Amino acid sequence: MQSTIAQTASKMHSTIDTSTATLELPFKRPFDWMRMLTFIGGRASAGVESVEGGVYRRAIEWQGDDGTVDVRPHESRHRLVVHVDGAAARHAGALAAPLARMFDLHADPREIARCLGADPMLAPLVASAPGLRVPGAWSGFELVVRTIVGQQVSVKGASTIMSRIVQRAGRRIDGHPHEGTAWRFPTPAELAVADLQKIGMPTKRIETVQRFAHAVATGALPLDEHGADLECLKRDMLSMPGIGPWTVGYVAMRALRDPDAWPDADLVLMQAIARRDPSLARPVLQRARTERWRPWRAYAAMHLWNGVAMETGLARGG
């Protein structure tokens, strides 16, 4: 699948204007684009990325060049169509891989469904959302900050604080055509020294965010570097004060793209499992049950979160 995406990207067509380019990235059916957008949109960094009218959009920087990407499904083919505007368009071919990772285009949904659908607890959830994917992130650094911010607060509350961080430490893009994506998320170095007092976050959590940002800025934690040792990254994050197994598991799901990652002690997941099988009220029994879902536990988590969202109408978990 990765080679197919690379080949498609190499055959991309560009408009006459060299500041624009279009990519078409293939995926295996089924692919639940709207649930992907609902998940990302509910957790988006306001001002940095937006979901509107079935389109994902954000401003990007690639090798020193600025631009905007918008992503939507093809009208008739099994592909996502990516429009790149601005100077970053000249790197369009290189954008195929990170975008494919972000939107989980390498997944084989039928293989995943065969495994998870064999479990009576998950079978109805898999049947109701057969094309559910694990949403990734454009920036692993940004996602980890969002995950730390989201500890012990609601999805909506975390989004509010993220918006304050963007406006306090980020950079507004002058003349940007899309108001919803007119801010740059702060770099690790910028966030490490920013004044984050009175943004609605406990002092210890602010210290965790800035300690993490400093580690990324200095290269001690090479989070977004190609070829980094993922197991080493997880161990190093877990050793940092204020970052626990839940945060590392969630980051492994979405940023490190581990299909078997599990956000341990996630309250929404624990409640969802116990509600579907009251005999599994104890955490140790729940952990034993998740062993059945290997090597696709990240997708099991998505199905359980999605089930709660369908039942309550609220974004829960993650």
Q: Which residues pair with 74 in a beta bridge?
A: none
**Chain-centre distance for alpha carbon 96:** 16
DSSP string over 181-244: G-EEPPPHHHHHHS--TTSSS-HHHHHHHHHHHHHHHTTSS-TT-TT--HHHHHHHHHTSTT--
Which residues are annotated as catalytic? 266
Host H or E run for residue 273: helix 267-276
Strands (E), the chain: 20-26, 49-52, 55-62, 65-73, 79-85, 171-172, 183-184
Judge contact between 145 and 255, C-beta under 8 A: no
State the sign of the Cα–Cα–Cα–Cα dihedral 275, 280, 284, 288. Answer: negative
